[in-house]
């Protein structure tokens, strides 16, 4: 698929929009890490484009007590691809994650 030819103004607007989305995801990860937001609340807001486009691995790594190793191990146990985003989780995968953190 060929990339669209964007004008300089369109390219700058797209860069600004992408930077804002990255900033919002970073703020979300900070709130999760500090405990202000629980995993259940984040998953309940999965329709939010900021949450929906976040990688599951980044979400798990943001949880207190989780790092790359624990997140990777959990994702392997639940058969979730390393590149999966929250919006791409299947019903079974979502239920398994919710059950894991409901303990």
- pTM assigned to the model: 0.84
pLDDT band at 101 (very low <50, low <70, confident <90, very high): confident
44-91, pLDDT tens digit by residue? 999 999 999 999 999 999 999 999 999 999 999 999 999 999 999 999
Q: What is the pLDDT of residues 19-37, one digit of tens each?
A: 999 999 999 999 999 989 9
**Per-domain residue ranges for the chain?**
9-101
Between these two residues, 61 and 3, which has the higher pLDDT value? 61
Please determine, for residue 8, whether its predicted confidence score (pLDDT) is greater than 90: no
| DSSP secondary structure code for residue 83 in this structure | T
Q: Which long-range contacts (CB under 8 A, 24 or more apart) does 31-37 make?
A: 32/59, 32/62, 32/63, 33/62, 33/63, 33/64, 35/64
What is the rounded average pLDDT of the residues 9-27?
94
Q: Is 11 helix (H, G, I), strand (E, B) or coil?
A: helix
Domain covering 9-101: architecture: Orthogonal Bundle (1.10)
Average pLDDT, the chain: 92
């Amino acid at each position: 698929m060929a990339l669209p030819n964007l004008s300089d103004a369109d390219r700058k607007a797209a860069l600004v929009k992408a930077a804002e989305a990255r900033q919002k995801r970073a703020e979300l990860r900070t709130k999760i890490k500090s405990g202000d937001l629980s995993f259940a609340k984040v998953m309940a807001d999965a329709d939010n484009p900021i949450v929906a486009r976040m990688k599951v691995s980044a979400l798990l790594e943001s949880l207190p007590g989780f790092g790359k190793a624990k997140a990777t191990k959990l994702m392997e146990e639940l058969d979730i691809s390393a590149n999966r985003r929250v919006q791409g989780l299947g019903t079974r995968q979502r239920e398994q994650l919710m059950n894991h953190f409901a303990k």
